[in-house]
């Protein structure tokens, strides 16, 4: 294990270990939240289920479970981040959320149908909490392990490994699901999908052991008493600091709006393709794989653009592309055109997520020590933006009975993000002199 006293930035071993955490937990994002579990959940539950005394369509229950997980993390992660900063518990919480998420995946193995509805639903919720909660602490390591000149490429490496690792595991899972006889599994059985859930948990937990060993350990000289009270005080201190930092505050506002559009499109692109363009489930899987593959290219491509023209220019280009994606999706009429749109989504998806993280790392004041709390604001805004974006998408669809109108409305989020981002200074923001303009 790396000793904190001997720790030096830009250590390739530490950087690769950090990036492997993305490789480890992104399998949950792809296999559980997007590709396999939503289809499995709909297949093993009734169209309308009784949950907590309410009659709810199973598709709505899945959406509510997703929203509940994000809301819980949005409420509690700032406090946990404050505790992590004050008490030096960053790695402790990273391990806690990893174990919580991976264990929840393993429990999904026992979710076979309506008799285990509560088990399946709550295991999914806690899996989401583990996935989303761990990212707060994972992201906050970036400015701690590398110097500013390497933020963009190292951030891109993490996202690219996440895309690649999750895609590899998904392909393995699909081979088992589509050819159960090869592995001695009965046809028309829930076993292949349930095995996939177990594989995600083991993959997540197993590969996370590498970053756990390589990342700098929690300091031993941090105070241990009254962590809850001190965590709240730490959070308030960072909030007061952010309010006085023009660049940080402006970037977070921009990030909130365009994240609402990005996350909503990522979660609901397959739904749009299925309902508006009659894509089959097998075709949807191909679209998801396409998004992952192109996402790897996009993360590195826009990191290069950033090296050439700067973070702000690169983000602006991507937000304009997102705006054009919304306009294009509104008018598209064929599956071929959707593949083009999906390719653009994949390209900008990887770049937007990667550069947003590295840009925020540059904008945080160079003398800031409460890195986890700073990244907590970043993470919470993304979670709340996801809830807001998906709610507006569903509301507009319900009112107008046309999902295309919802896509068009999302373009407004990107437009606002572009306008606010135009006021942000990135290159010179990471210095004490300019941080509090």
pLDDT digits (tens, 9 = 90+) for 189-209: 889 999 999 999 999 999 999
Question: Given this model, what pLDDT does residue 311 score?
Answer: 87
CA–CA separation, 154 vs 11, rounded Å? 11
Residue 318 banded pLDDT, cuts 50, 70, 90: very high
Q: Which residue has the higher pLDDT, 353 or 278?
A: 353
Residue 433 banded pLDDT, cuts 50, 70, 90: very low
Q: Which of 122, 121, 206 is CA-nearest to residue 169?
A: 206
pLDDT value at 270 more than 70: no
Question: Given this model, what pLDDT does residue 89 score?
Answer: 78
pLDDT value at 10 more than 80: yes
Mean pLDDT of the chain: 82
Which CATH superfamily groups domain 4-421?
Answer: MFS general substrate transporter like domains (1.20.1250.20)
pLDDT digits (tens, 9 = 90+) for 78-100: 677 666 666 677 888 899 999 99
Q: How far apart are the first and last CA of the chain?
A: 40
pLDDT digits (tens, 9 = 90+) for 156-182: 788 788 878 988 999 899 889 888 889
Among residues of the chain, what percentage have pLDDT more than 70?
A: 86
CA–CA separation, 203 vs 207, rounded Å? 6
Question: Given this model, what pLDDT does residue 167 score?
Answer: 85
CA–CA separation, 190 vs 205, rounded Å? 23
- For the ranges 158-167, 280-289, 341-350, the lowest mean pLDDT is seen at 280-289
pLDDT value at 152 more than 80: no
Residue spans of the domains in the chain: they are: 4-421
H/E/C letters for each residue in the chain?
A: CCCHHHCCCCCHHHHHHHHHHHHHHHHHHHHHHHHCHHHHHHHHCCCEEEECCEEEEHHHHHHHHHHHHHHHHHHHHHHHHHHHHHHCCHHHHHHHHHHHHHHHHHHHHHCCCHHHHHHHHHHHHHHHHHHHHHHHHHHCCHHHHCCHHHHHHHHHHHHHHHHHHHHHHHHHHHHHHHCHHHHCCCCCCCHHHHHHHHHHHHHHHHHHHHHHHHCCCCCCCCCCCCHHHHHHHHHHHHHHHHHCCHHHHHHHHHHHHHHHHHHHHHHHHHHHHHHHHCCCHHHHHHHHHHHHHHHHHHHHHHHHHHHHHCHHHHHHHHHHHHHHHHHHHHHCCCHHHHHHHHHHHHHHHHHHHHHHHHHHHHHCCCCCCCHHHHHHHHHHHHHHHHHHHHHHHHHHHHHHCCHHHHHHHHHHHHHHHHHHHCCCCCCCCCCCCCCCC
pLDDT value at 435 more than 90: no
Residue 437 banded pLDDT, cuts 50, 70, 90: very low
Question: Given this model, what pLDDT does residue 387 score?
Answer: 80
Would you state the torsion angle of the CA atoms of residues 272, 71, 363, 244, taken in this order, to the nearest 10 degrees? 130
Question: Given this model, what pLDDT does residue 153 score?
Answer: 82
pTM of the entire structure? 0.74
Question: Given this model, what pLDDT does residue 275 score?
Answer: 64
CA distances from 156 to 47, 226, 249, 269, 295 (A): 41, 38, 24, 23, 10
Q: What is the mean pLDDT of residues 333-362?
A: 83
Q: Which residue has the higher pLDDT, 368 or 131?
A: 131
Q: What is the mean pLDDT of residues 364-385?
A: 75
pLDDT digits (tens, 9 = 90+) for 32-46: 887 788 878 878 988
Residue 242 banded pLDDT, cuts 50, 70, 90: confident
- For the ranges 185-199, 221-235, 345-359, 374-388, the lowest mean pLDDT is seen at 221-235
């Amino acid at each position: 294990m790396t000793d904190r006293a001997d720790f030096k930035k830009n250590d390739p071993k530490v950087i690769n270990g950090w990036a492997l955490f993305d490789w480890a937990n992104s399998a949950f994002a792809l296999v559980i939240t997007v590709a396999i579990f939503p289809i499995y959940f709909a297949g093993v539950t009734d169209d309308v289920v009784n949950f907590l005394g309410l009659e709810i369509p199973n598709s709505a229950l899945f959406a509510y479970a997703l929203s509940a997980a994000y809301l819980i993390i949005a409420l509690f992660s700032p406090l946990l981040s404050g505790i992590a900063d004050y008490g030096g518990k960053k790695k402790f919480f990273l391990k806690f959320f990893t174990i919580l998420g991976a264990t929840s995946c393993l429990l999904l193995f026992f979710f076979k149908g309506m008799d285990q509805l509560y088990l399946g639903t709550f295991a999914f919720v806690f899996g989401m909490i583990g996935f989303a909660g761990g990212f707060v602490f994972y992201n906050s390591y970036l400015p701690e392990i590398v110097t500013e000149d390497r933020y963009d490429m190292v951030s891109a490496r993490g996202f690219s490994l996440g895309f690649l690792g999750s895609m590899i595991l998904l392909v393995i899972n699909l081979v088992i699901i589509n050819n159960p006889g090869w592995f001695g599994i009965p046809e028309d059985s829930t076993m292949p999908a349930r095995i996939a859930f177990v594989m995600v948990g083991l993959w997540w937990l197993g590969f996370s052991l590498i970053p756990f060993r390589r990342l700098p350990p929690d300091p031993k000289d941090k105070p241990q008493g009254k962590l809850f009270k001190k965590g709240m005080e730490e959070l308030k201190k960072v909030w007061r600091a952010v309010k006085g930092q023009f660049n940080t505050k402006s970037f977070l506002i921009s990030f909130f709006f365009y994240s609402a559009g990005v996350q909503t499109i990522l979660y609901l692109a397959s739904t749009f393709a299925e309902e508006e363009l009659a894509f089959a489930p097998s075709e949807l899987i191909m679209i998801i794989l396409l998004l992952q593959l192109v996402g790897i290219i996009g993360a590195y491509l826009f990191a290069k653009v950033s090296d050439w023209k700067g973070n702000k220019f690169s983000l602006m280009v991507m937000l304009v592309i997102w705006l054009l994606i919304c306009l294009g999706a509104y008018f598209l009429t064929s599956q071929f055109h959707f593949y083009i749109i999906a390719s653009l989504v994949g390209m900008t998806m990887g770049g937007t997520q990667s550069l947003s993280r590295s840009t925020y790392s540059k904008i945080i004041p160079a003398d800031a020590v409460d890195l986890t709390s700073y990244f907590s604001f970043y993470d919470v805004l993304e979670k709340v933006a996801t809830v807001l974006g998906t709610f507006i998408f569903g509301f507009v669809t319900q009112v107008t009975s046309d999902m295309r109108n919802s896509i068009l409305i999302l373009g407004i989020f990107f437009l606002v993000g572009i306008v606010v981002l135009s006021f942000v200074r990135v290159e010179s923001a990471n210095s004490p002199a300019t941080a509090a303009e």
